[in-house]
Structure 1
Amino acid sequence: MPRHPKGTTAGFKVKPRPRPKDLYGENEDLPVNHDWSHGKWTKDGDQWKPDPNGKQIIMSPIREQKDGEGTCAYHATSVCIEAAYNIKYNSDLPIQLSVQELLDCVKFKVENYKSSTRLKVILDWVVDNYLSLESDYKHTTGNLGSDCLGKGKGADWKAVTIMKKDFTDEEKEEVREKEVLRLVHEQPIIVVFDATNTFVEWSGKEIYRGVTIDDEEGASAITPKEDHEDLQKHAMLLVGYGTTEDGKTNYWIVRNSWGLSFGEGGYGKVARASSLPGGETLITKIFTVEAAKVKEKVPSMAQEQEDD
């Protein structure tokens, strides 16, 4: 069989696919695709088993909000801190932190219930009180309002804290996706989206593009936010980015808290601004953290299961 020069197919030169426009300039050194969810968990009975291919796992297993409406911020916070810890300390297997402790201990006034301000309050609580491992403060109801058992830093089971809690430009009116690309390349970050009625119905099986309508020329456009029904906020973890094989759509990879049936094993894709009409981002807020140990030895999920 004849061999063809590199960059050709059957003697025809293959034109390299251009980089997405948001990966030029200050982002030229970034890869076109990046994904922190590369290592996958499998379940054997009641035990979670690490990736059979030996890939390093940064993320803990997918959880489900159960009946806890409005608890997405708690889930996103706990897994963001887990990921930051696992990357910083180069853990072979990840730790799993308690989301139930946050649900029980971080209280809100009614007027703040659906605001992204909730994330700031949750992160402040972790700075002031530290956070426990899942094995020491287990996920039970998934609901708000239970008695808090973990207030204060002094408890022996406290494991992890955070050193900083906000992205410096988080208060800007607009989120710059070029900056977000660099941030998520370093580690997963918390992102907040406008959760319209179509977002709530999103199965995660296709790339989410926001609420769109067809204009007179047949092209799709994002509808004004004031036209959206049931406009709320939804927090998820941003774990990576990529481009479809045909090169037509640039997307974010997000980890949701709607269980394994959502998307591909709990993960979905959201279109980046560079692939949306008008170039308007669907992200409304971003938060990033730096994790730190509270005690010298923090057991991984695998070590905790062995102890059980």
Structure 2
Amino acid sequence: MIEKHEKWMNFHGRVYKDEVEKSKRLKIFNENVKRIEASNKLNRGFTLGVNAFADLTNEEFRASRTGYKRQSKHFNLKSKSKSFKYENLTNSVSSTMDWRKKGAVTPIKNQEDCGCCWAFSAVASMEGLNQIKTGKLVSLSEQELVDCDTSFDEGCEGGLLDTAFEFIKSHGGLTTEAKYPYMGTDGTCNAKRAAIKSVSIHGHEDVPENNEDALLAAVAHQPVSVGIEGGGFDFQFYAGGVFNGECGTELDHAVAVIGYGVEEKDGSKYWLVKNSWGKEWGEKGYMKIKRGGGAKQGLCGIAMKPSYPI
């Protein structure tokens, strides 16, 4: 295991401050690897892998990599939408959808040790809508949201999707990633950079809660931002396949649903999700989550709080 840990350290460029820290991390790494290997022997339809998070406890991982609605003050939100424009289209959607194939998904990004998944999720659905409307795929700035959207949302300390969309609408849009690059930390709002707006929206709509058919209708027409419970062990080390692992409905992470489909080998229905944990996680940064057949909230609560820009 020591040799395995050394190889892993070299691959991920991990350096520890001293031998005490290294010994502590080796112990955590050892426990995680054993649990990953035990899980994979169960043939659950998806696999776990020894990824960049293998020397973190689940508590450490959750603290740095999630970040959806941590503060109770967010629940005074007045902006909840009443309309749902895809309401009458739930029965007339294609059997599969992958917005990557339509050119509406930017490459996988990495939020790093900053709990601003909410910004990445909101930006991903906005990038998708912009491409659908204009034919141009433009990478937009998460850092502008982290630095400037601070009346409701709190940068690396967490935020909400609806409030992010409200901020974008009220401030005339977002600038590009190139003009306001991602830093992975809370910063001071750079008004000069943020002033050069690239893409604007009229607002947002919420998908009816706990309704996977309604979510399907929305995703058939554009990428959709969702909250999920993504802080568990199975999520931390997901490597591939249709995820059907352990997770509840305590929403703590935000991602973008960029499609859906059916697994050829066993007919499993899934949601196709774009995450913000880098390309080394999951299926090159993406994930398939089991769709339908369970609780109305959807697996990991995926159908509880979906919303999209308009």
Same fold by TM (over 0.5)? yes
Query: Structure 2 vs 1, CA of residues 199 and 162 (structure 1 numbering), >3 Å: closer, same or farther?
Result: farther
CA–CA distance in structure 1, aligned partners of residues 245 and 238 of structure 2: 13
1:269 pairs, out of 269, 275, 288, with: 288
Equivalenced residue count is: 219
1:3-42 paired onto structure 2 within 5 Å: 27-38=90-101
* CA shift for structure 1 position 162: 1.2
Structure-1 residue corresponding to 2:298: 281
CA–CA distance in structure 2, aligned partners of residues 143 and 105 of structure 1: 13
1:37-95 C-alpha deviation (Å, 9 max, x unpaired): 12xxxxxxxxxxxxxxxxx5211111001111x2100111112111100001123xx11
Q: 3-state DSSP class of the match of 1:122?
A: helix
CA–CA distance in structure 2, aligned partners of residues 60 and 110 of structure 1: 24
Structure-2 residue corresponding to 1:161: 200
1:201 pairs, out of 233, 236, 240, with: 236
Displaced runs of 4+ in structure 1, greater than 6 A? 109-115
Structure-2 residue corresponding to 1:302: none
Checking the alignment, whether the CA contact within 8 Å between 2:223 and 2:256 is kept in structure 1 is yes
Could you say what the CA RMSD is over the residues aligned between the two structures, in angstroms? Answer: 2.8
1:123 pairs, out of 160, 165, 168, with: 165
Q: 3-state DSSP class of the match of 1:263?
A: coil
Checking the alignment, whether the CA contact within 8 Å between 2:147 and 2:155 is kept in structure 1 is no
Query: What is the one-letter code of the residue matched to 1:123?
Result: F
1:156-182 C-alpha deviation (Å, 9 max, x unpaired): x1121211223263xxxx420101111
Q: 3-state DSSP class of the match of 2:215?
A: helix
Greater Cα offset, 258-267 or 28-37 = 28-37
> Taking every aligned residue pair, what percent have the same amino acid on both sides?
27
Question: Is structure 2 residue 227 aligned with structure 1 residue 192?
Answer: yes
2:274 pairs, out of 233, 236, 255, with: 255
Q: Which has the larger radius of gyration?
A: 1
Question: Is structure 2 residue 111 aligned with structure 1 residue 65?
Answer: yes
Structure-2 residue corresponding to 1:99: 142
Structure-1 residue corresponding to 2:124: 79
CA–CA distance in structure 2, aligned partners of residues 36 and 137 of structure 1: 25
Structure-2 residue corresponding to 1:22: none
Q: 3-state DSSP class of the match of 1:254?
A: strand
CA–CA distance in structure 2, aligned partners of residues 87 and 132 of structure 1: 18
Structure-2 residue corresponding to 1:135: 178
CA–CA distance in structure 2, aligned partners of residues 182 and 121 of structure 1: 23
Query: What is the one-letter code of the residue matched to 1:133?
Result: T
CA–CA distance in structure 2, aligned partners of residues 160 and 262 of structure 1: 29
Structure-2 residue corresponding to 1:51: none
CA–CA distance in structure 1, aligned partners of residues 93 and 153 of structure 2: 42
Unaligned runs of 5+ in 1: 1-24, 39-55, 213-223, 226-230, 291-308
Structure-1 residue corresponding to 2:6: none
Checking the alignment, whether the CA contact within 8 Å between 1:123 and 1:165 is kept in structure 2 is yes
Checking the alignment, whether the CA contact within 8 Å between 1:241 and 1:252 is kept in structure 2 is yes
* CA shift for structure 1 position 279: 5.8
CA–CA distance in structure 2, aligned partners of residues 286 and 63 of structure 1: 21
Q: TM-score, normalised by structure 2?
A: 0.63
* CA shift for structure 1 position 127: 1.0
More helix as a share of residues? 2
Query: Structure 2 vs 1, CA of residues 206 and 167 (structure 1 numbering), >3 Å: closer, same or farther?
Result: same
Query: What is the one-letter code of the residue matched to 1:191?
Result: V
